[in-house]
Structures are given as structure tokens and as C-alpha cells.
Amino acid sequence: MIIAKVFYSDSAESKLRPCIVLSGERYNSSGFVMIAPMTTADDEYCLPIDESDADCRIAPGSGVRADTIMRLQHSQIIKKIGRAKDEFYWELMGKIRELIE
């Protein structure tokens, strides 16, 4: 999990957002990472996350956007904040898979 400068397609401005890194070491070594941003939105495309799902602090009411996968340059990463538990990571990957099948 990271804090990163995230740019959205409908805005020229960035926002600092916590994000789950989805990509593996091979891709990450290319200078980029694939992420799913965290938000306080609550809809069918947002997987709820709390402190039991990670080894770091999570704001109450947070979720991870399964429908907003982004590619970020390493320069957009501000810092690493922790790691999602494997169970949560695979649940998120399943939610993403549901959206593309």
C-alpha cells in the first residue's frame, strides 16, 4: 500500500490517495506500478477495507475502487504505508475479474 499523487481523467489536478499496488515485482521494476485507489465512496464497485485487512492504519469507511485501475510512474509515489493482507488482495483481484468477465 502506498500514498501517491493520483491524476484522474476528468481533472488536470492530482490528489494524494492511499492505493493498493496490484502489479508484481517484474512490472514494478519497469518504472511503473499498477494501482487501485482507495476512497470513501460506497458502491458495488468499491470493496470495503479496514485495519483488519492491512498492517497499517485505514480511515473508517474506506474502500478500494475495483473499477479504477491506474498505471503510475514511480515518481508519483510519495511513500509506502503498509501491506494489504493476502486474503484482501485476492478478494480485490476477484472483484476486478468479475468486472471484466
Question: pLDDT tier at 75 (50, 70, 90 boundaries)?
Answer: very high
Residue-averaged pLDDT of the chain: 93
Query: Residue 51: which of 74, 82, 25, 23 has the closest Cα?
Result: 82
Percent of the chain clearing pLDDT 90 (strictly above): 84
* C-alpha gyration radius of the chain: 13
Other CB atoms within a 10 A radius of the CB of residue 92 amount to 20
Query: Above 90 in pLDDT, residue 46?
Result: yes
Query: Above 90 in pLDDT, residue 15?
Result: no
Q: Which three cell numbers stand for residue 65?
A: 475502487
Per-residue model confidence (pLDDT) at position 71: 94
Count structural domains, the chain: 1
**Alpha-helical regions (H) of the chain:** 25-28, 86-100
Give the domain extent around 33.
2-100
Segment 41-49 shows an average pLDDT of: 90
Would you call 76 helix, strand, or coil by DSSP? helix
Residue 39's domain is classified under what CATH number? Answer: 2.30.30.110
pTM of the model as a whole: 0.88
Per-residue model confidence (pLDDT) at position 8: 73
Q: Which three cell numbers stand for residue 14?
A: 492530482
